[in-house]
Amino acid sequence: MRMKPLMAASIGAGLTLLAVFLVFNLRPGEQKIETQLKRHYSTADPQFRRSMGVLLGPPIVDGNLVEELINGDRIFPAMLDAIRKAERSITFETYIYWSETIGREFSKALIERARAGVKVHVMLDFIGSIKMDVGAIEAMEAAGIEVRRYHKPVWWKFTRLNNRTHRKVLVVDGKIGFTGGVGIADKWRGDGQDTNHWRDTHFRVEGPVVGQMQAVFSDNWTKATGTVLDGDAYFPALAARGDQAAQMFSSSPTGGSESMHLMYLLSITAARDSIDLSSAYFVPDVLTLRALAAAARRGVVVRIITPGEDIDSKIVRAASRDSFGQLLEAGVRIAEYQPTMYHVKALVVDSLLVSVGSTNFDARSFSLNDEANLNVIDSAFALRQRAVFTRDWAQAREVTLKQWQDRPWHDKLTGNLAALVGAQL
């Protein structure tokens, strides 16, 4: 008889702990943007560039060279080549790192450089790297690589378990940077040729903006280790390497969590002619829906590519499709990529601004994850990315308003239910 009060107390304590966990892990870190931005200027106005630099944090710097790398057959060789040529330092932060063939190639290259005396620092998200063999991490550490698992579950940090680092940043010798959508897993190998090989884009960067990329890595490294990476092994003097203006900025629930959201809203609101959005996980909030619809209504050609049936999260697709109606009614064009999973994360506005990086078009990226994006302001570069987008559009199936309205009742129900948890997708 005496066990019943004890059991009740234990259950009560457990429920209290669960409630605390949910409150602290599911709430956004900072006050959200609550009102739609007013359109004070277009992308052609010098004020657009000033606002992007001031409101997002780091300044927009000139003299950069950014090269797009389409799919794993071009992405991974470029990254591995840079690692193998490293002379002083390698800093690498990624969400997914699995122990598959490409993971072993990266581990081997990183270990070889560490044994050669290069300072190697690797930041892996705990959840994203959960499929990585412990032995692979131990081999890295034995070679002298500093490896950290971001927000590894421990009892004194249980309120941060829902905050993941989704950033994808590789910097070599403080001079060459990479960012984009790929993780270190075999599904990113190949050329997007079938359902086992995903479509994605990554970017190779040289020039002064690489210093900002390094600072993004250093931000989380300092949070995780208490150690500041400094000196010319990490932050060398960087000469101009091209003629592109760029900035690398980050967001996190612990600081600047609304930076990504603000960047998208600023860009969409300032658009004059065109918006091309590639989004692997497209679950927009009310403000973003209104901004995209308003752009279409004032004559901007808005095109959005999302994944089709081949997607790694059916609930995300259901929530995404639930949002299509308001956009289609406003004249936004939406198409679903057919050949394979579409993992590209890119925004091209007015053949001028290109924003690429780790950020998905959803509340998780805007409020809960640590993210990082590279903004490039350059018309020639933007025109190239529009051409890439147009090629992808040709392999996507456009969704009409009538098709969306006539979708089966069970799709509507699933979409409505998925939309209820949209902030966590």
- Residues 149-170 pLDDT 10s: 876 655 445 445 556 778 899 9
pLDDT at position 23, please? 42
Q: Is 285 a catalytic residue?
A: no
Residue of 119, 168, 175, 261 with catalytic role: 168
Q: Which residues pair with 206 in a beta bridge?
A: 65, 176
The mean-pLDDT minimum among 151-155, 225-229, 390-394 falls in: 151-155
- Spatial neighbors of 359 by CB under 8 A, at least 6 apart, are 166, 251, 260, 345, 365, 366, 371, 372, 373
pLDDT at 106 over 60: yes
Q: What is the pLDDT of residue 45?
A: 95
241: which 2 tokens?
């390497």
Contact 372/249 with Cβ under 8 angstroms? yes
Q: What is the DSSP string of 347-408?
A: EEETTTEEEEES--EEHIIIIISBEEEEEEE-HHHHHHHHHHHHHHHHTEEEEPHHHHHTS-
Catalytic residue chosen out of the listed positions 119, 151, 173, 200: 173
| Alpha carbon separation from 419 to 154, 162, 319, 380 (Å, rounded) | 31, 19, 5, 38
* 15-24, 67-76, 220-229, 322-331: range with lowest mean pLDDT: 15-24
Q: At residue 175, does pLDDT exceed 80?
A: yes
Active-site residue, selected from the candidate residues 345, 362, 370, 392: 345
In this predicted structure, what is the pLDDT of residue 25? 47
Please pick, among 276, 285, 322, 350, the residue that the annotation labels catalytic.
350
Residue 35 has pLDDT above 70, yes or no: yes
Taking alpha carbons only, the member of 244, 217, 241 closest to residue 358 is 217
pLDDT interval class at 22 (50, 70, 90): very low
Pairing type for strands 333-337 and 396-399 reads: antiparallel
Reply yes or no on whether 223 is catalytic. Answer: no
Burial degree of 199 (CB within 10 A; 0-12, 13-18, 19+): buried
Q: Is the confidence at residue 419, as pLDDT, over 60? A: yes
Complete domains list, the chain, with CATH: 29-424 (3.30.870.10)
Closest to 347 measured CA to CA, from 308, 417, 291 = 291
- CA–CA separation, 41 and 399 (whole Å): 31
Query: Cβ neighbours of residue 216 under 8 Å, at least 6 residues apart?
Result: 93, 167, 169, 248, 249, 250, 372
Give yes or no: 362 in active site: no
- Average per-residue pLDDT in the chain? 88
Q: What is the pLDDT of residues 87-101, one digit of tens each?
A: 999 999 999 999 899
Active site residue 168: yes
Which listed residue (121, 166, 197, 261) is catalytic? Answer: 166
Q: Strand 176-180 and strand 201-206: pairing? A: antiparallel
Query: What number is the average pLDDT over the span 192-205?
Result: 97
For the chain, how many helices (H) and strands (E)? 14, 17
